[in-house]
Structure 1
Amino acid sequence: MQQPTYPFVTPSTCSRRHVMAALGLAGAVGLATPAWAQFRVQISGVGATQIPIAIGAFRDEQRGPQPVSAIVRADLERSGLFRSLDASADRLDEVSRPPLPDWKTKGADALLAGSVSPLADGRFDVRYRLWDVLKARDLSGQSLVVPAADLRLAAHRIADDIYEKLTGDKGVFATRIAYVSKAGRRYTLLVADADGENAQSALTSQQPIISPAWAPDGKRLAYVSFQNGKAEVISQDVSTGKRRLLASFKGSNSAPAWSPDGRQLVVTLSRDGVSQLYLISADGEGAPRRLTSSSSIDTEAAFSPDGSLVYFVSDRGGGPQVYKVPVGGGSVQRVTFSGAYNISPNISPDGKWLTYISQVSGAFRVHLMDLSSGDARPLTDTRDDERPSFAPNGKLIIYATRQQGRDVLVTTSLDGRIKAVLATSQSDVRQPVWGPFNK
């Protein structure tokens, strides 16, 4: 994977990291996901603190197309905060009265059991119960009635409930990611579960695309299409495929970033010569408002969570660095100072952290900065990382990289201890972006 150079270039000469795939006609065909396939997630590292949870196989789950308990287990382990113990031998379900003191002796802090019952109309009734072993009491439990196609989503929601009950933070297992893949000359924008499974084709084309970006409502994706022979910013409804042209000005139109309220976007336009940041309406109406004015290239914008600031990349200091500017206008301030090449900024949902790509001894690695102190550190030891994106709870970061000669999507905890390679059936994947919480 080759990192972009400045200035950015056209699709025929573009670097592999900035121009990935084109989105032409909306694809109606989803990618088939093998049943019981979640075991392709590879987890490495050990968290500083892990909650031991015993998980039993859900009663009758083999009668459905998805192994609900195994998906829940994989979700929790991938977060880096849980260590699972197998409780399947006890044949528990949600109405059991398990001997909690025995499980305390076995080292469990919590215990999960449930059932999956097929209904006459083809749906499934998924029930579960979570016990607090240490306090010897029921902690949570409910019934989810879902069609067969939503059994994985039900498992993710169960994992989210467990995560929140045991950590106090919202889980992100039922959220979605988007990324771009390339197979031969075909480019595809994919929307998948947060673990990489259940990938569905949103768009396919023979042309490239730049920078998919989720709208705050989780219903739309903005991206840059070259379908009409030039870079144009498009917004697309993920469920219907309906597209809206947002920016097709003279020159290049690229790098869309949504405002937190979803009403506007920051884009990079070269309509006045050099690439600069502009604010445009999310409905594509009205004239763009210029946000930066320099003789350098300003691009790769990212809003702060409160919408007051825009972080971006500029080479105004001689090489690409991260800067910030008030949305209402004002002085530009430099943010990154360590390293000569820093790109692809993304801000955590709580506004405390900045993740970005920094070149270190020729390697491009994911970094994390504490915005209050300016302290930064690498989270990876790979060489070809790109486009880090925070999970909506701010506890994980997704990025693309190369491992063992293939392109992969990886999540990492903020301390860099836990990394999980996500399940993708495509060999050429990149430009991931994590979607918001489901509305």
Structure 2
Amino acid sequence: MKAFIQTFFIFALAFTFNSYSYAQQAYIKAGEAQAKRSNLAYPLFNNLGSNDSGVATAAAADIYNTSKSNFELSSYFVIMSNQAYLEDPAKTSLKPAPADSKGFKFEPLKTIGAEFLIRSGYSVSGQDINVEMYLYHVGEGRLILGKRYRAPLAQAKQIGHTLSNDVIEALTGTRAPFMAKIVTAYEVDSTGSKEIAIMNWDGSGFQQATSHKSIALSPSWSPDGKKITYSVFSKLRQSSGKSLSNVSLYVLDLATNKRVLTSYRPGLNSGAVFSRDGKFLFLGMSMGSGSADIYKINLKGEIETRLTNGPAGAINVEPTLSPDGTKVAFSSERGGRPMIYVMNTDGSNVKRLTFQGKYNASPSWSPDGKKIAFAGQDGANFDIFVMNADGSGLKRLTSATKANGRPANNEDPSFSPDSRYIVYTSNRTGSNQIYISTVDGGEERRVTNDNRNYYRPKWSINLE
């Protein structure tokens, strides 16, 4: 099986004339962007070389369309129409006049209301595509960022993701998540068999990561994005010769494809998440009983700490860690109905966070520590809700209906590495598909477009 962490042949080298450090200033503040989007002039790429073959132009178009789509999803920008420009970008160079005799002018861009400008061009050398990108502040008439990129033609799309990450980081001070991946369980066929797969955040690059020919579920990333943990329905043979039906926990190294059976105690070993240093796992284990509790184990499977103990046989599962690693949010039925709780990582100081709805599950803590998302049943269906980490400010994120008019189920939330997006599943089209939404609900996009059923998608860090 191929390794799933790929190193793309992409060079993003700042031009020698660009001494500006974009960490010094945030041109766009996230709160202000929700109220007013910035006008971004983003003309089509100029061909800087002599290769105008279909392959070359298709690769350039893929880069442009990928980055443009990312900018639209970011909710930071209004992309100005290519018909709005008073000066033809195809007839000017990527640099401004008068320093460049063939350069563009800022005044026509100010006239149409552009606030920022991206000028880009491409050339092809052998099987590689090269891209130059310049980001300008139109009002100030100056360069913010200049970079060069190079990648094989077949991987041109990755330049689009990296370029948009660079632009958004230059303008906001925070890197966008467009080089992140999603790990998910999915239904392989009509037999109900489920495996784990990895894809780019936009649904491209789908690769099956496991082949258990069973039911694999609840995948999660290591902090460095090099490993995943997941659980599998399996039968284990005991020393006595008897077989034991189990939900066992595995850790898979994506570079070596080495799979380690990490916890196979009787019953449930599932819902695991890595500690922030990647050395431990927090998970739910039933120990052969009818209930489950949350434990901390090391990567050898040895129990370090039991965090919960009922009470009275209550189920405690689905841990998610705060970004500083000091707290665990989880779902528990200790109050009668499954609700979201939080505790310290040693199991102390348990506090209930949710009180509304019939059933709250699958909590996800945002990487910036400010929010917790979860799936809540409010009526006959589940929706995604977001609240502050202390339980205040509860807000419904999703509300979708099926073709028959009935409410759809939206479940399994997971935050992006920049905390601005949530990935989740929804059955609004009939099958369980993956969607993403901005945390404020302003932008929503369908990620997968097939007839499969997906479960428990999780967002990785940027894998650059």
* Length-normalised TM-score, structure 2: 0.80
Q: 1:271 to 1:93 in 2, by over 3 A?
A: farther
User: 5 Å matches for 1:52-71?
Assistant: 52-60=39-47, 62=57, 64=59, 67-71=62-66
Give the counterpart of 1:151 among 143, 152, 156.
156
Q: What residue in structure 1 maps to residue 68 of structure 2?
A: 73
Amino acid corresponding to residue 109 of structure 1 in structure 2: E
Give the counterpart of 1:247 among 260, 263, 272.
263
Give the counterpart of 1:428 among 448, 453, 457.
453
Matched, 1:298 2:293: no
Q: Deviations over 1:355-395 (max 9, x none)?
A: 00111121210001012461201011123011100111111
| Higher Cα Rg, which structure | 2
Kept in 2: contact 1:55–1:69 (CA 8 A): no
Give the counterpart of 2:136 among 124, 127, 131.
131
Kept in 2: contact 1:27–1:204 (CA 8 A): no
CA distance in 2, matches of 1:90, 1:181: 45
Give the counterpart of 1:276 among 290, 293, 296.
293
CA distance in 1, matches of 2:70, 2:339: 35
Q: What residue in structure 1 maps to residue 77 of structure 2?
A: 82
Q: Deviations over 1:103-156 (max 9, x none)?
A: 122222111121222223x22222211111121111111111222343222211
Q: Calculate percent identity across the aligned residue pairs.
A: 26
Amino acid corresponding to residue 204 of structure 1 in structure 2: S
Matched, 1:326 2:351: no
Q: What residue in structure 2 maps to residue 263 of structure 1?
A: 279
Q: Deviations over 1:212-251 (max 9, x none)?
A: 1011001111111124452111111223322111111122
Amino acid corresponding to residue 291 of structure 1 in structure 2: L
Give the counterpart of 1:204 among 183, 198, 211.
211
Kept in 1: contact 2:431–2:451 (CA 8 A): no
Kept in 2: contact 1:27–1:201 (CA 8 A): no
Q: Deviations over 1:372-428 (max 9, x none)?
A: 461201011123011100111111111110223343211111211211112444532
Matched, 1:396 2:402: no
Kept in 2: contact 1:217–1:436 (CA 8 A): yes
Amino acid corresponding to residue 392 of structure 1 in structure 2: P
Q: 1:285 to 1:370 in 2, by over 3 A?
A: closer
CA distance in 2, matches of 1:139, 1:171: 17
Structure with the bigger RCO (C-alpha within 8 Å, sep 6+) is 1
Q: 1:174 to 1:249 in 2, by over 3 A?
A: same
Q: What residue in structure 2 maps to residue 385 of structure 1?
A: 410
Which stretch of the first structure deviates more once superposed, 169-178 or 183-192? Answer: 183-192
Q: What residue in structure 2 maps to residue 179 of structure 1?
A: 184
Give the counterpart of 1:110 among 102, 112, 116.
116
CA distance in 2, matches of 1:197, 1:93: 33
Matched, 1:347 2:373: no
Deviation of residue 52 (structure 1)?
Answer: 1.6
SS in 2 for 1:67: helix
Kept in 2: contact 1:75–1:195 (CA 8 A): no
Amino acid corresponding to residue 287 of structure 2 in structure 1: R
**How many residue pairs align between the two structures?**
397
Kept in 2: contact 1:234–1:247 (CA 8 A): yes
CA distance in 2, matches of 1:93, 1:266: 55
Q: What residue in structure 2 maps to residue 415 of structure 1?
A: 440
CA distance in 2, matches of 1:211, 1:81: 33
Kept in 1: contact 2:195–2:214 (CA 8 A): no
Matched, 1:360 2:378: yes
Q: 1:399 to 1:62 in 2, by over 3 A?
A: same
SS in 2 for 1:156: helix
CA distance in 1, matches of 2:448, 2:119: 25
SS in 1 for 2:377: strand
Deviation of residue 72 (structure 1)?
Answer: 0.5
Matched, 1:51 2:46: no
Deviation of residue 195 (structure 1)?
Answer: 1.6
Which stretch of the first structure deviates more once superposed, 87-96 or 345-354? Answer: 87-96
Q: 1:214 to 1:85 in 2, by over 3 A?
A: same
Amino acid corresponding to residue 318 of structure 2 in structure 1: E
Which stretch of the first structure deviates more once superposed, 298-307 or 78-87? Answer: 78-87
CA distance in 2, matches of 1:161, 1:29: 24
Q: 1:365 to 1:289 in 2, by over 3 A?
A: same
Kept in 2: contact 1:64–1:116 (CA 8 A): no
Kept in 1: contact 2:45–2:60 (CA 8 A): no
Segments of structure 1 that go 5 or more residues without pairing to the other structure are: 1-25, 31-45
Q: 1:373 to 1:29 in 2, by over 3 A?
A: closer
Q: Deviations over 1:240-277 (max 9, x none)?
A: 32211111112221110111111111011111623111
Which stretch of the first structure deviates more once superposed, 234-243 or 420-429? Answer: 420-429
CA distance in 2, matches of 1:182, 1:285: 28
CA distance in 1, matches of 2:255, 2:155: 15
Matched, 1:235 2:230: no
Amino acid corresponding to residue 289 of structure 1 in structure 2: T
Kept in 1: contact 2:194–2:217 (CA 8 A): no
SS in 1 for 2:413: strand
Kept in 2: contact 1:58–1:93 (CA 8 A): no
Kept in 1: contact 2:246–2:266 (CA 8 A): no
CA distance in 2, matches of 1:245, 1:328: 25
CA distance in 1, matches of 2:76, 2:446: 16
